[in-house]
Amino acid sequence: MEFWAIVSISVLIASCLAFFLILGSKGKKINGKLPPGPAAVPIIGNLLWLTRSLRDIEAILRELRTQYGPIITLRVGTRPAIFISDHALAHEALVGKGATFADRPPASQAGLILSANQHNINTAAYGPLWRLLRRNLMSEILHPSRVKSYGEARNWVLELLIEKLKSESQTAGSVRIVESFQFAMFCLLVFMCFGQRLEEKVVRKIEEVQRDMLVNFTRFNVFAFFPRIGKWVFRERWNYLLGIRQRQAEVLLPIIRARQSSVMKLQGNKLEKEVKNGSFGFSYVDSLLSLQLPDEEGKRKLTEEEIISLCSEFLNAGTDTTSTAMQWIMANLVKYPQIQEKLAKEIEQVLGERKAQKGEEVENASTGGFIKEEELQKMKYLKAVVMEALRRHPPGHFVLPHAVKEEVEINGYVIPKGASVNFTVAEMGMDEKVWKDPMDFKPERFLEEGEEEEVDITGTREIKMMPFGAGRRICPGLGLAMLHLEYFVANLVMEFEWKAKDGEEVDLTEKPEFTIVMKNPLNVVLLPRKKTGGPEDPTS
């Protein structure tokens, strides 16, 4: 009896494995050899997942690279995921074969809910919809002239941030800066998104629901493994996801509808006139309300659900990534005070040049004056500090997964159509073959003769580092992010001397959240800088 029970169970397991193997391979004939990788079985994928977690993915890839090389296949479930860690291969894929590698993998159930069925820039398939959404963002909001028009908003947010840091410093003696950075960046993105300064309690509500989505997103990964039955097996988790989406609508829809009403009252030439004279600031929502989707989408306007998803994407993309990068920059300036002082001297030199040109005394920063955005172009060391931070501590250690539109060969291996392709951003930034002393924080490496021209952060010529990705799916907000980092860092260093709290060391240990953050957030003492004169009011 026991013998036949064992046989029956064995046959059942074998049948199930065969079924899933056939299901996983159906319609996915591969005419070549996949990149190498560890042993895998149907359903589970690689056997290493029985003892390792996806949280260890970077350590796993480093171990596997020594055995399999710079291009590796992993399987989580039935789908192959390709990981590329070589600079030249990344450039060949993202730039040389950019159109082929520009697609996105199918979204999970959770992703479909939060992206309104992939109707946002990050998740949309490579095609007419993606082109329209990206072109709209680039031309209407991220065009240099439009970015410049938000200068007053940046001044306002900087004032809020400095006052908050001063208040906390005076009250507690030291400041944990991460929350202040996040809220400041969020306020700025909310203004750009909706075109107005909302009450703090409203901004806090928006931030709360957006943060809830980001913090809990990994909980919804289970729906990628069990797409058909996951929402029934994990009913409570599914309901929580739907609840987040409902709260997003409750918070964002009234603002979107109010904005739509305001725009309708100022249609045509009147609206254009109000925008031109500055009395009505153009916003991201304004561009979305007037957008008409391509033929494949029925030449229709965006639905409210789709506008919510695009606004959510806009707010998330520019908040955590920028605030995280700012914290890493300031952490290194505190840890290496000689770098901070060198940057402070550059700032003083630029201010001195302004004073000499004006032939008059320059107002103190406490009166509301800040470094002008056009003056940032003179600060080569500032740019080097920002670049070094992005190399050493990129906010994302991987770009968002790519997918190939058709079967393609790279480095002698075949990437099957639809396969997820990932690029190891952090590993490339710390490759000893490309970077000397890669673990050290040395901004001077970007000031060496010829280096400034050689390191192309867009990856067009070659890829040495790619914190914003590269190729057709490169982050559209690259220019805005660099402006925000340089502008806020320069003014914060001008205003304060940043020091570690007595008895505490700056800990650069990393921790993965939505971005790669400091495991122990930066806690600093802020001392007002002694200066004979600060910058004048940039609006004067």
What phi and psi values does residue 487 have, to the nearest 5 degrees? Answer: -65, -50
Sign of CA dihedral 246, 252, 254, 260: negative
Binding-site residues: 475
Q: 452 near 446, Cβ under 8 Å? A: yes
Q: DSSP of 359-419, one letter per residue?
A: TSPPPPGGGT----GGGGGG-HHHHHHHHHHHHHS-S-SBPPPEE-SS-EEETTEEE-TT-
- Long-range residue pairs from 236-244, CB within 8 A, at least 24 positions apart, any chain: 240/216, 241/110, 241/113, 241/114, 242/113, 244/114, 244/209, 244/212, 244/213, 244/216
- Distance of alpha carbon 504 from alpha carbon 501, whole angstroms: 5
- Spatial strand order in the sheet of 496-500: 175-176, 523-528, 496-500
Task: State how far the alpha carbon of 44 is from the alpha carbons of 75, 237, 346, in Å.
Answer: 8, 22, 55
CA distances from 129 to 117, 124, 310, 417 (A): 12, 7, 13, 20
CA angle 103, 392, 192 (to 5 degrees): 60
- At 24, the amino acid letter reads G
Q: What CA–CA distance (Å, rounded) separates 496 from 510?
A: 25
Give percent helix, percent strand, percent coil of the chain, each to the nearest 5.
55, 10, 35
- In angstroms, rounded to a whole number, what is the distance separating the alpha carbons of residues 312 and 211? 11
Which run of H or E residues covers position 215?
Answer: helix 200-216
Q: Which amino acid, residue 440? A: D
How far apart, in whole angstroms, are the C-alpha atoms of residue 292 and residue 488? 36
Orientation of helix 380-392 relative to helix 478-495, angle to 10°: 110
* Cβ pair 82, 100 in contact under 8 A: no
CA atoms of 420 and 213, how far apart (whole Å): 23
User: Per the structure block, which two tokens stand in for 42?
Assistant: 């149907």
- Identify whether the C-beta of residue 128 lies closer than 8 Å to the C-beta of residue 136: no
Is residue 83 within 8 Å of residue 401, measured between CB atoms? no
Polymer length in residues for the chain: 540
- The interaxial angle of helices 151-172 and 478-495, nearest 10 deg, is 40
Annotated binding site for heme: 475
Question: Which three-class secondary structure state does DSSP give residue 229?
Answer: coil
